[in-house]
Structures are given as C-alpha cells and as structure tokens.
Chains A and B, each alone.
Chain A
Amino acid sequence: KAGVTQTPRYLIKTRGQQVTLSCSPISGHRSVSWYQQTPGQGLQFLFEYFSETQRNKGNFPGRFSGRQFSNSRSEMNVSTLELGDSALYLCASTPSFTQWFFGPGTRLTVL
C-alpha cells in the first residue's frame, strides 16, 4: 500500500507570496492532519480534517488555511509568507483514528 504522499517535496518562495501544499492520504484513510516542523518550535499541530470538515485547529494565524476534498486529499495554503514560515510541513493520515501515518513532508523555504 502506498504511503502518504506530499507534493511538492521542496519549495522556495519569497516573502509576501502565497503557497499551496498538497497531501494524498493512504488509500482508505479519511482523516488528515497537518503539522509544522521547525528546529526552534519542533512539531506543532496546524489542523485536522475529516470528511471535508475541519475538526480541530492549532494556534496559528489566519494566514494558514486548509481544506479537504471528497476523495480525502487535502491542501494547505499559507498566504503572505513570512521568513518564519520556513519549515517542513508534514501531513498525516489515519484510517479510523487509531494510528497516524506521516508523509515525507514538504520543505518550504521563504527568502
């Protein structure tokens, strides 16, 4: 079974731009979560989606948003990028709120 896939794997943007990251969960998994990983703050929860509904949101500004599609694929968007948004963005999926499986992440660099 294929794992969680994230695209693109690497991204370079400049301050003020916006970016959209994509996540395809493991087949059959209906819930997706997003995390931001930085050396300074570690792994921090962004949001979680189930059946196209955001069920939970972390403590991030409104510039961070996401959505889930009917096929369970998810996207997250960051608008008006700041230097501090440089991070590894991780997506995870679960079949039924048992165990969560992470993708390889998208490495975002903001210049």
Chain B
Amino acid sequence: GENVEQHPSTLSVQEGDSAVIKCTYSDSASNYFPWYKQELGKGPQLIIDIRSNVGEKKDQRIAVTLNKTAKHFSLHITETQPEDSAVYFCAASMNTGNQFYFGTGTSLTVIP
C-alpha cells in the first residue's frame, strides 16, 4: 500500500517567518494530496489540496507544491502568525473517493 512520510515532526518559527513541511509518497498512482491542520481538541481541518495534474497551488499565505517525478509535495506557509500553531498532516490518495494515507504530522509552533 501507499506510504507517506512527513518531515519535520516538530517545527518552531518566529512570527512573520516562513514554514515549510515536506512529504513523500511511494505509490505513483496517488493523485490527490490534501493538507490538514489540527488544533488541540479538534478534528483535522482541510486547508489546501492539490491534484496530480497541477504543480503548485496557492491560497493567500498558504501554498502547496507537487513534484510527481520525485513523489514529494510540500506545504509552505508565509508570514506565519501565532494562530498558525497546530499539527499539520499531509495525505495522499488515489482519488478523492478512496482512503487517505496520512503522514505522521508536524507540530508547528509560531513564536510571537
């Protein structure tokens, strides 16, 4: 089955700096890659997603890039704010109707 690896497991940045989280996947059939943000006591919240026919997608301060050849995708958060502090999960699936394979999560702390 699919195997998704995520790095780093923890990340601390100063407010206003950028944060980058990287994920790799093993199955070339995967074609949908969402990113979720999970705050304490809450369920994962979809923040951005990308499909395999697109190399990059941006939504305000958040962007995701995908390299299909290398089988890796990354989350970029610019101008970080304290409210960005949370655990971020990447995921991969063969299409949006199938199960997600999640990365192990990155705990992001934004220091004011």
Chain A residues with a Cβ under 8 A of chain B: 4, 31, 33, 35, 42-45, 48, 50, 55-56, 58, 90, 94, 97-105
Cβ–Cβ contact B100 & A48, under 8 A: no
Q: Which residue of A lies closest to B103 (CB)?
A: A42
**Which chain B residues have a beta carbon within 8 Å of chain A's beta carbons?**
34, 36, 41-46, 49, 89, 91, 95-105
Could you tell me if B43 and A45 are in contact, using CB atoms closer than 8 angstroms? no
Q: Is the CB of A43 within 8 A of B89?
A: yes
Q: Taking CB as reference atom, which chain B residue is nearest A50?
A: B97
* Closest A residue to B91 using CB positions: A43
Given contacts A42-B102, A43-B89, contact A97 B96 (CB under 8 A): yes
Q: CB-nearest residue of chain A relative to B96?
A: A97
A104 closest partner in B (C-beta): B43
Pairwise interchain contact B98-A100, C-beta atoms closer than 8 A: no
In angstroms, Cα B45 to Cα A105, docked, is: 12
If A45-B101, A99-B49 are given as contacts, then 11 extra A-B residue pairs at C-beta distance below 8 Å, sorted by A number, are A31-B97, A42-B103, A43-B89, A56-B99, A97-B95, A97-B97, A99-B34, A99-B96, A100-B100, A103-B43, A104-B41
Return the contact of A45 from the options B41, B95, B97, B99 (Cβ within 8 A): B99
- Residues of chain B contacted by A56 (CB below 8 angstroms): 98-99
CA distance A45 to B101 in the complex (A): 8
| B99 touching A104, Cβ below 8 Å | no
Q: Which residues of B contact A48 (CB under 8 A)?
A: 97-99
CA–CA, A82 to B101, complex, Å? Answer: 24
The residue in chain B whose Cβ has the minimal distance to the Cβ of A57 is B99
A67→B49 CA distance, assembly (Å)? 28
